[in-house]
């Protein structure tokens, strides 16, 4: 399963995970208001997937790909899945534990080139690089 997402949306989803992890340490009203504000910034498809995983007890719901493995269940991921996650603006699912996966390298690259994630989803073929990068190679 793959859900399109920008680096900013993935970052917001990671903030939501932090709020849920800190639920016991924050006052209930403050926690609820911060969590709701963060939830409003997460796209519907990602939020629905997040809630479904949270309800079945997958915690943390979203995890990084570390050394080619899911950092939630520590199972080695298929090479193609790892490759796609590192190069595409999307959230992928672990084939074993079904947690949401993201590639930290993708977030780091997006942070280095802030204009690259502004390209709307669907404006280029999946797996291709933004036009700016292609023009530098020419």
pLDDT for the residue 86: 84
pLDDT for the residue 114: 56
pLDDT for the residue 58: 87
> Which residue range forms the structural domain that includes residue 19?
2-118
- Has this prediction a pTM greater than 0.85? no
133: in domain: no
pLDDT for the residue 96: 95
132: in domain: no
pLDDT for the residue 2: 86
pLDDT for the residue 65: 94
pLDDT in tens, the chain (138 residues): 788 888 889 989 998 888 888 776 666 787 778 888 889 999 999 999 999 999 998 889 999 999 999 999 999 999 999 998 888 878 999 999 999 999 988 777 766 765 544 443 443 344 444 444 443 443
Q: Which residues lie closer than 8 Å to 92 by C-beta, 6 or more apart?
A: 1, 2, 81, 84, 85, 100, 101, 102
Question: String of b and e for 45-84 (b: at least 16 CB within 10 Å)?
Answer: ebbebbeebeeeebebbbbbbeeebbebeeeebeeebbeb
DSSP 69: E
102: in domain: yes
135: in domain: no
DSSP 23: T
60: in domain: yes
CA-to-CA dists, residue 92 to 4, 16, 54, 55, 77, angstroms = 9, 17, 16, 19, 11
16: in domain: yes
Strand arrangement, sheet containing 90-93: 2-4, 90-93, 100-102, 62-66, 69-70
Q: Which residues lie closer than 8 Å to 53 by C-beta, 6 or more apart?
A: 61, 98, 99, 100
- Name the domain count of the chain: 1
Task: Determine the number of helices (DSSP H) and then strands (DSSP E) in the chain.
Answer: 6, 5
pLDDT for the residue 138: 39
131: in domain: no
Where residue 48 sits, what CATH number does that domain have? 1.10.287.1490
């Amino acid at each position: 399963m793959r859900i399109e997402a920008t680096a900013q949306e993935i970052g917001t989803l990671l903030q939501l995970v932090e709020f849920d992890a800190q639920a016991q340490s924050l006052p209930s009203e403050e926690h609820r208001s911060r969590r709701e504000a963060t939830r409003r910034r997460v796209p519907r498809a990602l939020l629905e997937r997040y809630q479904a995983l949270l309800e079945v007890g997958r915690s943390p719901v979203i995890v990084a790909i570390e050394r080619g493995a899911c950092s939630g269940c520590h199972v080695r991921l298929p090479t193609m899945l790892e490759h796609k996650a590192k190069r595409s603006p999307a959230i992928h699912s672990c084939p074993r534990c079904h947690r949401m996966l993201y590639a930290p390298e993708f977030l780091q690259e997006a942070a280095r080139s802030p204009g690259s994630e502004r390209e709307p989803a669907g404006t280029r073929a999946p797996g291709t690089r933004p036009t700016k990068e292609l023009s530098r190679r020419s």
